Amino acid sequence: MYLKEIFLMRVLNIYLVALILFISTSVLTPKAEAIGFWHKKKKEQPKIEQSVPADLPVTVEETTDEGLITKYAPKDLIKSVEIEGNSIISDEKISEMMKSQAGKPYSVEDVKQDLQLIYGMGYFTKNIKALPQKTDQGVILKIVVQENVPITGFVLEGNSVLEDSELLSILNKNIGTPQNINILNDMIDQIEETYAEKGYTLARVQSIQDEPDGYIDVKIDEGYIKDITLSGNIKTKDFVIKRNMMVKSGDIYNEYSLAEDVKRIFGTKAFADVKRVVSQSEEDPTKYDVKIEVTEKRSGSVSVGGGFDTSTGVFGSAGFTDYNFRGLGQQLGIDFMTGSGIIFNNSSILRRASYQVEARFFDPSFLQSKNSLQAKIFARDYASWQVPLATERRFGSELEVMRPIQKYKHLSGGVTLGFENVKIKEGDLSQSMADFAKSGVDFSNRTNMLVGGTFVSLGPRFVYDTRDSYISPREGVYASLGAKEYMNVGSGDAGSFGRVEGTIQKYFPVGEKSTVALMGKAGVNPWGNAPYFAQYNLGGIRSVRGFRQTEAGNGNGMMMATAEFRTPVPLMDKITQNTFFNDMRLVAFVDAGRVFQENIINTVYDYPGYGISTGLGLRIYIPGLGPIKLDYGFPLTNIGGGRNNTGRFLFDVGEMY
């Protein structure tokens, strides 16, 4: 192997491991999500009166050392400033507020302003006075103050979602200082901000009352919900909407929790729009009412269409989908597609017409429980990607039951049960024999490639999802980990085997509309003898772009990572306000991957077993269909077999991830 290739393989391994570790660490400390839906602002809490009263009694008693009232000339200077009556607030802190200072001309007006400023500090009663005394050396200015009662502690009332310790950490730092209106108002702001940071945006300090013993009673209204009402749903049953809501009547209002509920309701795909309005309850002004306003969309649709993409070539399709079947939030669909065969294929994949049909059903609340049920039946006939120059026919079914794990927010767990019959047939015997002969590999190995079988699969799966959108996420994490045991229940040479797969995706918003998306995934068949059709390949659609399908390598395990930068088409919003055009995105990407436990396909076709590529793409979002993906990728590593490193176009429906 060339030194360049060895170097690139080492770089690839470092890139894959580092990127997957980086994304993984992001999952451990997800950023709290905040979705900006409109709601009525909480009523303003009036602050404690802190302005200096206009009628503050300012006492300036001007005397001589003999106690006689005298007049002062502008030339009289202040000899010293003495402060009396303070025991907690230092002389320096009081002096900093005063214009009258030693060495400056004495002025009655300045002294009156100084007394106003000292009172405005908030630590003192109205009993403030100045006692200037004229001497031969100058004026001795004596300021007499009376401190407020010192704070000895705080008593909290009404807090339940925040612990006393968290709130007292804000308040207790003022223990021992005189009661201060200004500081108390700052504490009110800090308490309400602490609540708001955790989503309790309607919580407020209801009252603050001082006691003669120096304790201050702080009463908090955390913002309770009186009623939750629905409007706008005609077909959809009320309980279908409410079962997607974790927030209930009697709960304390939380902005983040309600935003999650709105996201779940919108995620049922039964509604074109979901809003919530929060208002003060007319029945109980101390509480709030929440109204969920939905706009239903036509949930059932029949589609007939055609086009072309990389995996199926020129295709025709027909289907029916209902995202709100019987108004119960269930999803029912059936799709049929036939295509001319994969385009931009390499020499190991037949150009052959493909057929596939799939019927699916999804119930987000199976038997009115917290379990979701997804079922599908499928049949497919196409040119095999895993087995060179072979045809592949599959039919089967799959059931998956998932349930949220309440102890861990955003985490769900479940089990998948599947049945599948797979038949692999020779598609071009003469070409297969020629390929084996050219590579010097015994053609008897071809028999192992054509092994099929009938399998029952069973295994657990866990999903962690904090994405802000299921269609075009800009922020959040998606992670999935699953394992399955495939048991051969029919005749044939295939044995039972196991599979473990994991995926992790992380999204970072950049600016107002751009996104950096990272993805790492890995899979392996760690036990048993997995047949060739159940092994992994890299290259092509939703893999290492820039390589043709499977051209990067085949093996019993794989690991890959990809990074994308997605941004709106520059200046498009200046040209038109049409949503269709403004939703288009340009994409720049880097893909890297490698297979493990390489199989004989790599030897016969001289596939490298790894690949790195880069490229550009365009995403066109079609309502009801999703993004159309147009990518051009260029391989940065050798594709093997003496083939030229040239770029490849890829056409597909749906994001890379």
pLDDT tens, residue by residue, 206-244: 888 888 888 989 999 999 999 999 999 999 999 999 988
Q: Give the sign of the dihedral formed by CA 249, CA 250, CA 255, CA 259.
A: negative
What is the residue-wise DSSP string for 552-610?
A: TEEEEEEEEEEEEEEEEPTTHHHH---HHHHT-EEEEEEEEEEEEEE-HHHHHHT--SE
What pLDDT was estimated at residue 183?
83
**Quick one: 59-144 is in which CATH superfamily?**
membrane protein fhac (3.10.20.310)
Q: 10 Å Cβ neighbour count for 32?
A: 9
Is the pLDDT at 187 greater than 80? The verdict is yes
Q: Which residues contact 368 (CB under 8 A, 6 or more apart)?
A: 243
What pLDDT was estimated at residue 69?
42
Distance spanning both ends of the chain, measured CA to CA: 33
pLDDT tens, residue by residue, 343-382: 656 778 888 888 999 999 999 889 888 899 999 999 999 9
Written as one letter, the residue type at 460 is: P
What pLDDT was estimated at residue 326?
87
Is the pLDDT at 68 greater than 60? The verdict is no
Pairwise CA distance, residues 164 & 537, whole Å? 57
Q: What percent of the chain has pLDDT over 90?
A: 50
pLDDT tens, residue by residue, 392-417: 999 999 999 999 998 888 999 999 99
Instruction: Identify the three-state secondary structure at position 88.
Output: coil
Q: What percent of the chain has pLDDT over 70?
A: 86
Q: How confident is the model at residue 181 (pLDDT cuts 50, 70, 90)?
A: confident
Pairwise CA distance, residues 299 & 335, whole Å? 16
| Residue spans per domain, the chain | 3-30+298-653, 59-144
What pLDDT was estimated at residue 36?
29
What pLDDT was estimated at residue 450?
94
The fold adopted by the segment(s) 3-30+298-653 is Porin (2.40.160)
Residue range 542-563: average pLDDT? 94
Question: Burial code of 432-462, b = ≥16 C-beta within 10 A, e = fewer?
Answer: beebbeeeeeeeeebeebbbbbbbbbebebb
Is the pLDDT at 5 greater than 80? The verdict is no
Q: How confident is the model at residue 492 (pLDDT cuts 50, 70, 90)?
A: low
What pLDDT was estimated at residue 11?
41
Given a contact cutoff of 8 angstroms between Cβ atoms, the answer to whether 339 and 354 are in contact is yes
What pLDDT was estimated at residue 74?
56
pLDDT tens, residue by residue, 446-488: 999 999 999 999 999 999 999 988 778 999 999 999 999 999 9
- Give all strands (DSSP E) within 10-85, no chain letters: 59-60, 63-64, 78-84
pLDDT tens, residue by residue, 616-647: 999 988 765 668 889 999 999 998 877 788 88
Of 233-247, 550-564, 606-620, least confident by mean pLDDT is 233-247
Given a contact cutoff of 8 angstroms between Cβ atoms, the answer to whether 613 and 541 are in contact is no
pLDDT tens, residue by residue, 284-301: 999 999 999 999 988 777
Pairwise CA distance, residues 383 & 347, whole Å? 12
CA atoms within 13 A on the CB side of 143: 32
Runs of H (alpha helix) within 53-106: 91-95
Is the pLDDT at 582 greater than 90? The verdict is no
Query: In this structure, are strands 553-568 and 514-524 parallel, antiparallel, or unpaired?
Result: antiparallel
Q: Which residues contact 41 (CB under 8 A, 6 or more apart)?
A: none
pTM as predicted: 0.67
Is the pLDDT at 523 greater than 90? The verdict is yes
Instruction: Identify the three-state secondary structure at position 342.
Output: coil
